[in-house]
Amino acid sequence: MLDIKYIRDNLDDVKAGLAKKGFIFDDIEFKRLDEHRKSALTKAQSLQAEKKKASKQIGALIGQGMSPEDAKAQVMGSIDADITDAEQAAKQAEQALHDLLMSVPNVPDAEVPHGNDEDDNVEVLTWGEPTSLSFEAKDHVDLGEPFGLNFDQGALVAGSRFVAMSGKMARLHRALTQFMLDLHTDQHGYTETYVPYLVNREALEGTGQLPKFEEDLFKIPAAQGDKDFYLIPTAEVPVTNLLRDKVNDIELPLKRAAHTPCFRSEAGSYGRDTRGMIRQHQFDKVELVQFVRADQSDAALEELTGHAEAVLQALELPYRKVILCGGDLGFSAAKTYDLEVWLPGQKKYREISSCSNFRDYQARRMGARWRNPETGKPELLHTLNGSGLAVGRCMVAVLENYQQQDGSIRIPAALQPYMGGLQAIS
């Protein structure tokens, strides 16, 4: 959520920044609601002051011999009812303004390029040369099916956009997950974290998935009493919300790594990537989350993105890094880098990680603060997260980049210890 004072003081800059995301900020409605909220609060406070003054008058009348009931009736009149009405009006005005601000995305950083969609993202660097094969490349579906990658079984037990794995494919999937977690916890300073796969509505509102993107989520109605649950779209949601609604006495930066399944309805993606594991309703991911102080967040984004890159480099998978343009930038993000891995089967780069700085936007929605030991005062945290990496897409990249002409798959050296020393799947 944006700071209301910042909006008031920088209205033109806010409008221009949000326009970069393709969002038209209704400044007239904002001003109307803001003024209504202020006038309602002022009226309620004025009536409270009148009541305090009236209480003194009642005391004086009682001192002159009037009964308490008569004194109160003479002085107070309808003031209690007026106060109740004014406070209710102020509460409604506060809620209306809050609802408006909850629907407003984060303002992009100045260096975010203009653009409408992924075609306008700007390449920052490339690492490695796209894999060149002396034979016609197969895609991961054809490569993996002989070794236990089974989309028919996934569809049998759940439906389209699900996969079942067995044998070497299940082992490779697990090996990638363990390798990523070990790399991030042993070398990059993250604490491994286990979190629920179901969250409440408040958690999704805190990180920005709700209220705008409910159609992208899997909802479980009234799972516990009258409270709805949602399957997590990413570990970002439960991990980031661990610090919500309190002042945290912690040392920053705080870095967490979590492996979870992720669940997405893929609303609006009908007809896209229907073959294989690129766009699934359920997939695994190792998520990296950092909580930092405001003056650390720019450097933290570069560091976190580097940690995701380290996975690709260790696996010797060619990739490129792009900065997202305004039109492709997420709702809550101020700045995002995408890492796109080369897939010989598709002959193109495809996203495998998205690393974002949210600044204090999520923390303000969550009420997540830390106590600055230098001042002793609470301050909003800055939050960042990124995929480190999406496990299924990483497996796709290994299958396609390490394929051999006879259909076998070489195992990257970094993964061999996690595969029981196996050097190839054949």
Query: Catalytic amino acids?
Result: 264, 279, 351, 354, 393
Three-state DSSP at 159 gives coil
Six token digits for residue 20: 């970069």
Q: Which residue type is seen at 112?
A: V
351 is in an annotated binding site: yes
266 is in an annotated binding site: yes
Give the burial string for 50-89 (b: 16+ CB within 10 Å, else e): eeeebeeebeebeeeebeeeebbeebbeeeeebbeebbeb
50 is in an annotated binding site: no
Alpha carbon distance 141, 119 (integer Å): 26
Alpha carbon distance 426, 423 (integer Å): 10
- The answer to whether the CB of 423 falls within 8 A of the CB of 411 is yes
Alpha carbon distance 214, 268 (integer Å): 12
User: What interhelical angle do 68-76 and 27-63 show, nearest 10?
Assistant: 150
385 is in an annotated binding site: yes
- The answer to whether the CB of 278 falls within 8 A of the CB of 393 is yes
42 is in an annotated binding site: no
For the purposes of burial, counting CB atoms within 10 Å of the CB of 414, is it exposed (0-12), middle (13-18) or buried (19 or more)?
middle
387 is in an annotated binding site: yes
171 is in an annotated binding site: no
Alpha carbon distance 9, 207 (integer Å): 25
69 is in an annotated binding site: no
- The answer to whether the CB of 211 falls within 8 A of the CB of 176 is no
214 is in an annotated binding site: no
- Within 10 angstroms of residue 418's Cβ, the number of other Cβ atoms is 18
Alpha carbon distance 275, 17 (integer Å): 37
220 is in an annotated binding site: no
287 is in an annotated binding site: yes
- Residue list, annotated binding site for ATP: 264-266, 351-354
- Residue list, annotated binding site: 234-236, 264-266, 287, 351-354, 385, 387
- Residue list, annotated binding site for L-serine: 234-236, 264, 287, 385, 387
